[in-house]
Amino acid sequence: MRLVDYLDKGAQLGAHSPCLTMGGTSLSYAQVQRISWCVARGLQRAGIRPGDKVAVLSSNDATAFATVFGISRAGCVWCPINPRNEAGENAYVLDAFDCACLVFHGNYAPMVEQMRSQLPKLRALVCLDQRQPFAPSMDDWLEGLDDSPFDIAPPDDVAMIAGTGGTTGQPKGVMLSGRNLEAMSALTLMGYPFEGRPVYLALAPLTHAAGVLCLPVMALGGQVVIMPRPDLGEFLGLIEEHRVTHAFLPPTLIYMLLQHPQLAQTKLDSLQCFWYGAAPMSAARLEEALQKIGPVMAQLFGQTEAPMMISMMSPREHFNADGTVARHRLSSAGRPGPLVQVGVMNGDGVLLPTGESGEIVVRGSLVMLGYYRNPQATEEASRHGWHHTGDIGYLDADGFLYIVDRAKDMIISGGFNVYSAEVEQVLMQHPDVQDSAVVGLPDEKWGERVVAVLQLHAGRQVDPDEIKSFVKARIGSVKAPKQIELWLDLPRSKVGKVLKKEVRAALLQRADQPPR
C-alpha cells in the first residue's frame, strides 16, 4: 500500500463521502482524488521525478494534506516539515533530505523567504493559498492541467522521510516505507475498536502521529476533521457536531482537557477510541480521564522509527473482567502488537527474562528502513539485529510492557538507579500537580541528586517539604526529590513532550544556589 492507496480505498467505499473536513467545509474522496491527480501532474511538469523528495510546510490544513496524496501519486517521497521549528532547523532538514520541491502555506512565506537562499537543491516552490513574489500559488501552478486519473509508479518503497525531534543533535531523516505504514495501519485496525464509518478529529499536528493515524481511518472510508489551531473548547464542540468516533491527544493536552469547564457539558457518547501517546501519561490522570471522558481511552507507544504501534492498550484493557478500573496496569504501555516482536536487552545484546529491566528493542515490518544517508546512525540503532528504542523498560508476566525511563534520563543517586518516570508518576498523584519533570543534577554527596520541577494547577500552592514527604511515603527516600522547583510552565517540544534537557540546563545555570 502506497500513501495514495488509502485515499483510493476510501473512494471505492464512497467517492462522494466526506474525506477531509475543515472549518465547516468538506472535500469528498472524489475531490481529494482530483487534487492528487493534478498535483502529481504538476510535479511532473515541474521536472520533479519519481523518487524525488517533496516537502510540505504547513500547519493543519485540508489542502496541504490532500497534496500529500498527489506527492505519492507522482511516485515521490513526502517530507513533512514541522511548522513550529525555527527557520534554521527547517533549512537544515530540507537540505539534508535533498528536497527538490517545497509546498508551503502562505503563513510561512517569511520563513521560506529566509531559508530559500540556503537551499540550492530546491527546483520548485509552490504556495498553497496565495501567490508570492518568489512562488506561484497552487491554483496558478496547476492551471491548464488535466484532472483525470494519473499515476506514476515509485522507484522503491520509501513513502516518507520524517525528521527526528533533534533534541539530541541535528534531526535525522527516518525513511518509512509503504510496508512500515501498512503494518502500522493493520495494527491500528486490529487493536482498537472501529464500528461503522469512523470520524477522526485531528487537533495534534498532521506532521506527526495525528497524520499517519488518518491512513487506517481512510482505509475504512472515514472522515478526517482537521483543526487548524489547537483549541480545546473547539475540540469538544467538534466532537458533538461531527459525532466524532476517534481522536488523539498527547498527555499534556489531556491534562488540560480534564480541567476544561466545557468537558462536563459535552456529549461524548459517539467516541469509540480516544488515543493517548507521544509521552508517558500519569496513571492518576488516566484514571480521571476514564471517569470524565469515558471507557474509551486507548494507549499507543511507538516512535518515528517504528511508528505508533510498538505496543497498544485498547479501551477494554483499561478495565478488569468485573468492570473495575485495572489500576495495576494503567502505568503500562500496553502489550506488544501482534505483528511486532518486542524484547528487553542488556548492554551485551542479551535478551532479558520477564520482569528484568533493560533497553526496549523491536523488530518486524513496523521498523524503519534506516536513517537517510546516515549509515552509522542506522547501524547503531539496529545492532544485534534489533531496533533500539532508547527506552528502558520490562515485560510483566501478562505480557504488558512498562517503560521506566529514557536511557539518557536515568539518575544514579547514592549508587542506586532512580528512574525519573517512576518519580514523575508519583508526583502526578498529588492533587495540586498538573505536570512534572524529574532530572538529576551533580551532587557531592549523592553523585546525582533527584530534582523535581513542578507545574501546578492554576491557583494552587504547595509546600516543597510536603511534596518530598508525599513521594518518600510512596517510593522511599532514595527516590524522593532532594530539591523541588515550582515553575509556571515546563519547556516542551513541538508535540508537547517536556524537554528535560532544557529543564536540566536551566537548573545547572543556577547550580550555585542552595537546594530548596
**CA 232 from centre of chain:** 18
Regions of the chain where pLDDT drops below 70: 165-169, 415, 494-495, 511-516
**CA 230 from centre of chain:** 15
Distance CA 291, CA 245 (A): 18
| pLDDT, position 170 | 80
Q: What is the pTM of this model?
A: 0.86
| pLDDT, position 368 | 98
The residue behind cell 518486524 is 364
Distance CA 465, CA 461 (A): 12
| pLDDT, position 463 | 92
pLDDT digits (tens, 9 = 90+) for 487-513: 999 998 766 788 888 998 899 887 655
CA distances in angstroms from 135 to 38, 112, 116, 128, 181, listed in the order given: 18, 10, 11, 10, 32
- Domains in the chain (CATH in brackets) are 28-177 (3.40.50.980), 417-509 (3.30.300.30)
The per-residue DSSP string of 144-212 comes to T---S------SSSEEEEEE---TTSS--EEEEEHHHHHHHHHHHHHHS---SS-EEEE-S-TTTHHHH
Q: Contact at 8 Å (CB) between 3 and 182?
A: no
β-partners of residue 486 are: 454
| pLDDT, position 492 | 86
Q: Contact at 8 Å (CB) between 425 and 457?
A: no
Kindly tell me the burial class for residue 419, based on how many C-beta atoms sit within 10 Å of its own C-beta (0-12, 13-18, 19 or more). Answer: buried
pLDDT digits (tens, 9 = 90+) for 362-407: 999 999 999 999 999 999 999 999 999 999 999 999 999 998 877 7
| pLDDT, position 167 | 44
